């Protein structure tokens, strides 16, 4: 059986962290359309230049761009099980996704919904620090680095995402409520809800138990 696990939740709800933990524990690959977009922007590709104004303003990148990138990833990797981090995030994307993943490629889809409040999200995002060298992610509030501004793993200087600002957080959260929440209703019986107010380890235990992975 081919399984597609769709991680949905507001920015900062822990989707990316849990996808990485599942990759390390079970070898399940994940694709984040946000990471794909940021990679294109960093490399200054034509697609990246097209996406940048949307990312820096907190608005959603157009569906046509997201769908094209996602389809290319799935076809290139051709895996039996995968995690999609944050896609689809609109009803329009969900309809295209259903045809591509369920009908054309034969995956059984399960939605994993990370439920968390705005107050917690702001602390997670504003405190997030990312190591550009080893990929380690720490948080100034929840697991601060031993040396301020420096990665605990490789001692490289941390970076922050260009879209990690309070104004953009609010804009993205509003977009999430308007565009993503209806998807939960769209899939209904295929949804598993995770209490994402918990710590990362507790969330991870809940996911593995409910997905049996």
Query: Residues with catalytic annotation?
Result: 15, 89, 128, 161, 172
Within 10 angstroms of residue 42's Cβ, the number of other Cβ atoms is 12
Q: Which residue intervals of the chain are DSSP H helices?
A: 15-26, 33-42, 46-57, 63-77, 91-97, 118-126, 166-175, 181-187, 200-211
In the block, residue with structure tokens 């996602």: 70
Most distant CA atoms of the chain, gap in Å: 50
CB 57 within 8 A of CB 172: no
Half-sphere exposure of 44 (CA within 13 A, CB side): 0
Burial of 200 (0-12, 13-18, 19+ CB in 10 A): middle
Strand ranges across the sheet with 2-9? 30-32, 81-85, 2-9, 107-115, 191-195
Taking only Cα atoms into account, the Rg of the chain, rounded to an integer number of angstroms, comes to: 17
**In degrees, to the nearest 5, what angle opens at C-alpha 13 toward C-alphas 173 and 18?**
150
């Amino acid at each position: 059986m081919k399984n597609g696990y769709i991680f949905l939740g507001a920015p900062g709800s822990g989707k990316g962290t849990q996808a990485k933990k599942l990759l390390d524990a079970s070898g399940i690959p994940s694709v984040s359309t946000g990471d794909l977009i940021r990679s294109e922007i960093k490399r200054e590709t034509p697609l990246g230049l097209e996406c940048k104004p949307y990312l820096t303003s907190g608005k959603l990148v157009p569906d046509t761009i997201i769908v094209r990138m996602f389809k290319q990833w799935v076809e290139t990797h051709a895996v039996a099980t995968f995690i999609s981090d944050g896609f689809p995030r609109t009803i329009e994307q969900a309809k295209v996704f259903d045809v591509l993943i369920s009908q054309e490629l034969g995956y059984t889809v399960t939605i994993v919904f990370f439920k968390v409040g705005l107050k917690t999200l702001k602390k997670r995002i504003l405190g997030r620090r990312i190591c550009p060298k080893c990929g380690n992610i720490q948080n100034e509030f929840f697991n601060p680095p031993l040396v301020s501004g420096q990665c605990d793993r490789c001692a490289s200087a941390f970076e922050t995402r260009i879209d990690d600002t309070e104004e953009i957080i609010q804009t993205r959260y509003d977009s999430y409520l308007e565009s993503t929440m209806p998807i939960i209703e769209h899939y209904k019986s295929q949804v598993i809800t995770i209490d994402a107010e918990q710590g990362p380890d507790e969330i991870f235990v809940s996911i593995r138990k409910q997905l049996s992975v």
